[in-house]
């Protein structure tokens, strides 16, 4: 009888141990059944990084992975351009950010190894149209360029669907903008340059003769940016935006730094050098075209601020002004709103107008403390 009880006790202990071992094995198997999936990680609003664990990649040779690994939009046979790195995992940074509500697939050669999507961000505020240039309410009738500045990268090559120019209150104009593919975005895809058709602006050219100039003098024009235009993350602007201008007479004169009015600071101070440009100039060219230097060419470090609808600017030095002779060095690429640069007008009659000798830059001298 006692032997029988001992047998039962040993059997119960063995069963418990076998049960615990079986439970542990089941847990391990369950954990292995569904390995982690590739995850799109948002690093910053401008781009996304995809990390794929190496155990999900059937090939282990880094050189072969770099050669064979591709990311594609589902249903598309086109590979997405980007930077690929293979180390502890496979990381892929697309040249153009992944967009929300889209499904992507990871391929190794001809084998699909995983897929992923970028979730919609419910907390995203959406893009905003921060500014439209020119900011002046009055523009020359031969206005050449318009800039749109957004708060974040926008969807490219679709501007013709979401931008229109309205004359007066309701007359939508057609074929006034130059159609460019690809569009003229800055590197961050936050600033778009729109050209009014130069062929219609330049007199005597066929488009001008056939359709006339894009704008007419003494009229009101409104640029409308449609609320449905989306960012690179597929979030719409949400409300119509834009700007309104009134056209004035044609501008056929080149900007002349010799005519700019300067308010010179006192030596020993960091007072601004105030520059009255006498007219509104191209906002983005202006920001990169003016340099302050000593008469010997040594650059003065400081910051330039553009004000008064791009008709004035202030230069504040990093150090105090020393008494002496200075120069404004102005890049000849600087343009006014009609596209006239410092070397030549945008539209001139070459049979009657003699061109100036082209220069890389122009200088305007001034003195402090003399």
Please choose, from the candidates 224, 44, 238, 42, the residue with its C-alpha nearest in 3D space to the C-alpha of residue 127. Answer: 238
User: pLDDT at residue 4 above 60?
Assistant: no
pLDDT at position 213 over 80? yes
Fold topology of 39-117: Immunoglobulin-like (2.60.40)
From 81-95, 137-151, 176-190, 315-329, the region with the lowest mean pLDDT = 81-95
Which fold would CATH assign to domain 257-368? Immunoglobulin-like (2.60.40)
* Average pLDDT over all residues of the chain: 84
Above 70 in pLDDT, residue 198?
yes
Looking at residue 352, what is its pLDDT? 60
The pLDDT score that the predictor gives to residue 370 is 78
As a whole-number percent, the residues of the chain with pLDDT over 90 amount to 56
Residue 170: is its pLDDT beyond 60? Answer: yes
Portion of the chain with pLDDT greater than 70, in percent? 83
Q: What is the pLDDT of residue 310?
A: 96
The fold of the 129-248 domain, in CATH, is: Immunoglobulin-like (2.60.40)
Is 294 a residue whose pLDDT tops 60? yes
Where are the alpha helices (H) located in the chain, listed in sequence order?
A: 2-33, 62-68, 159-162, 198-201, 206-211, 283-289
pTM of the entire predicted model: 0.69
Average pLDDT over residues 95-108: 78
What sections of 83-180 are H helices per DSSP?
159-162
> Residue 23: is its pLDDT beyond 50?
no
Identify any residues that bridge with 224 across adjacent strands, giving them in sequence order: 164, 242
Confidence of residue 76 (pLDDT cuts 50, 70, 90): confident
- Is it the case that residue 74 has pLDDT exceeding 70? yes
Strand pairing of 47-53 and 241-248?
unpaired
pLDDT above 70: residue 115: yes
Question: What's the mean pLDDT in 204-208?
Answer: 84
Q: What is the mean pLDDT of residues 142-168?
A: 94
Residue 34: pLDDT over 90: no
Which of 1-10, 200-209, 344-353 comes out lowest in average pLDDT? Answer: 1-10
B/e letters for 298-320, b = 16+ CB within 10 Å, e = fewer, are eebebebebeebbbbbbbebeee
- DSSP, collapsed to helix, strand or coil, labels residue 346 as coil
Altogether, the residues listed in the chain come to a count of 370
Burial status of residue 361 (CB atoms within 10 A of its CB: 0-12, 13-18, 19 or more): middle
Query: Mean pLDDT throughout 268-285?
Result: 97
Q: How would residue 22 be classed by pLDDT, with cut points 50, 70 and 90? A: very low
More confident residue, 118 or 195: 195
Confidence of residue 6 (pLDDT cuts 50, 70, 90): very low
Q: What span, in angstroms and rounded, lies between the C-alpha atoms of 181 and 179?
A: 7
In the chain, where are the structural domains located?
1-34, 39-117, 129-248, 257-368
Where does residue 151 rank: exposed (0-12), middle (13-18), buried (19+ CB within 10 A)? middle
Confidence of residue 121 (pLDDT cuts 50, 70, 90): low
Q: What integer is the mean pLDDT of 129-152?
A: 95
Please state the rounded mean pLDDT for residues 330-343.
Answer: 97
Q: Please write the tens of the pLDDT for every residue from 226-268.
A: 999 999 888 899 889 999 999 999 999 999 999 999 999 999 9
Kindly tell me if the per-residue pLDDT of 17 is higher than 60.
no
- Yes or no: say if 186 and 149 are a contact pair by the CB < 8 Å rule: no
Average pLDDT over residues 319-343: 97
Whether the per-residue pLDDT at 37 is higher than 60: the answer is no
pLDDT at 298 over 90: yes
The predicted structure's pLDDT at residue 48: 63
pLDDT given at position 27? 35
Q: Kindly tell me the burial class for residue 206, based on how many C-beta atoms sit within 10 Å of its own C-beta (0-12, 13-18, 19 or more).
A: exposed
78-97 pLDDT tens trace: 788 888 889 888 888 887 77
- Stronger pLDDT, 73 or 284, i.e. the higher one: 284
Residue 95 or 274, more confident = 274
């Amino acid at each position: 009888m006692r032997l029988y009880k001992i047998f039962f006790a040993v059997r119960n202990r063995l069963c418990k141990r076998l049960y615990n071992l079986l439970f542990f094995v089941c847990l391990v198997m369950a954990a292995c059944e569904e390995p982690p999936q590739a995850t799109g990680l948002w690093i910053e609003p401008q781009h996304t990084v995809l990390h794929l664990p190496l155990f999900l990649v059937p090939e282990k040779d880094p050189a072969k992975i770099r050669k064979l690994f591709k990311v594609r939009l589902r249903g598309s046979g086109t590979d997405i351009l980007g930077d690929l790195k293979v180390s502890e995992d496979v990381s892929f940074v697309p040249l153009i950010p992944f967009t929300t509500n889209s499904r992507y697939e990871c391929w190794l050669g001809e084998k699909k190894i995983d897929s992923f999507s970028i979730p919609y961000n419910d907390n995203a505020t959406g893009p905003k149209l921060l500014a439209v240039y020119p900011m002046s309410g009055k523009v020359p009738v031969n206005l050449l360029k318009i800039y749109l500045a957004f708060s974040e990268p926008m969807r490219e090559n679709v501007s013709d669907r979401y931008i229109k120019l309205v004359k007066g209150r309701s007359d939508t104009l057609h074929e006034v903008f130059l159609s460019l593919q690809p569009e003229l975005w800055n590197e961050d895809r936050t600033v778009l340059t729109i050209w009014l058709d130069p062929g219609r602006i330049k007199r005597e050219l066929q488009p001008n003769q056939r359709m006339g100039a894009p704008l007419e003098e003494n009229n009101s024009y409104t640029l409308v940016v449609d609320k449905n235009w989306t960012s690179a993350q597929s979030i719409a602007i949400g409300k119509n935006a834009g700007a309104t201008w009134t056209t004035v007479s044609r501008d056929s004169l080149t900007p002349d730094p010799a005519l700019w009015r300067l308010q010179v600071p006192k030596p020993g101070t960091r007072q601004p050098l105030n520059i009255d440009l006498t007219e509104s100039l191209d906002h983005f060219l202006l920001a990169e075209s003016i340099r302050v230097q000593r008469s010997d060419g040594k650059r003065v470090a400081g910051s330039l601020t553009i004000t008064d609808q791009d008709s004035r600017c202030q230069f504040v030095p990093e150090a105090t002004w020393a008494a002496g002779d200075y120069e404004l060095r102005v890049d000849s690429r600087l343009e006014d709103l009609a596209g006239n640069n410092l070397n030549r007008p945008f539209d001139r009659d070459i049979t009657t107008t003699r061109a100036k000798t082209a220069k890389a830059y122009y200088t305007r001298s001034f003195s402090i403390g003399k």
